[in-house]
Structure 1
């Protein structure tokens, strides 16, 4: 039996956000993978090959912009949509700099989270 569940990775150093995302997305039928830093990001992402990535701006160590740019430079990973999320007021600029497909401002409501993910998944 093949497992056709969609996979999502959430990169955030805030455990509360990870647990909320985990709970909500698992309810919606996603396989959720969470990381509190973006070290060895290409290895991690290629090991999972998710359908979508949620990327926090302030993720240790390199930060979300460098982490996202690293993924977008990788032939195998560059087409995985990245949703950039941050409480920063410049989030649209940050997401553009990073090369993310879209962004989600924190704090976010759960309907918005689902809508943004559906828009790229």
Structure 2
């Protein structure tokens, strides 16, 4: 497997599709449906990218993003936010994520943005 991507998405269908697409592209994907399980994940520091939904059943993806960016261990790892409700401007006000993708998203656009974040230099 290739680079590691941590996915936080509460919609099971969307999570499964993203996991399948990224796995087909040889990424190693760790999927979570809620903030509690994501935060309990022990291997956050070895990830190459975080892909976070904004609206979650037990929290807010912007807060998760900020927690990752405030932590010395994970602050250098790129974060991409996803939302059908929030927009790029709201993301820029709320957290320091590197990129944003609006839902519904085009699969090829998602892959392009993921690839860009993983290849734009040595992230950590």
Gaps of at least 5 residues in structure 1 are: none
1:109 deviates by 1.0
Correspondence for 1:68 among 65, 70, 94: 65
1:62: Cα distance to partner?
A: 2.0
Residue of 109, 112, 116 corresponding to 2:109: 112
TM, length-normalised to structure 1: 0.88
> What is the alpha-carbon distance in structure 2 between the residues aligned to residue 100 and residue 113 of structure 1?
15
Q: Which residue of 1 aligns with 2:87?
A: 91
Q: What is the rounded CA distance, in whole Å, between the counterparts of 2:9 and 2:22 in structure 1?
A: 15
Distance 1:59-1:87 versus aligned 2 partners, 3 A rule: same
Structure 2: state its 5+ residue gaps: 119-124
Q: Counterpart of 1:77 in 2: which secondary structure? A: coil
RMSD: 1.5
Q: Provide the TM-score with structure 2 as the length reference.
A: 0.86
The runs of 4+ residues in structure 1 deviating greater than 6 Å are none
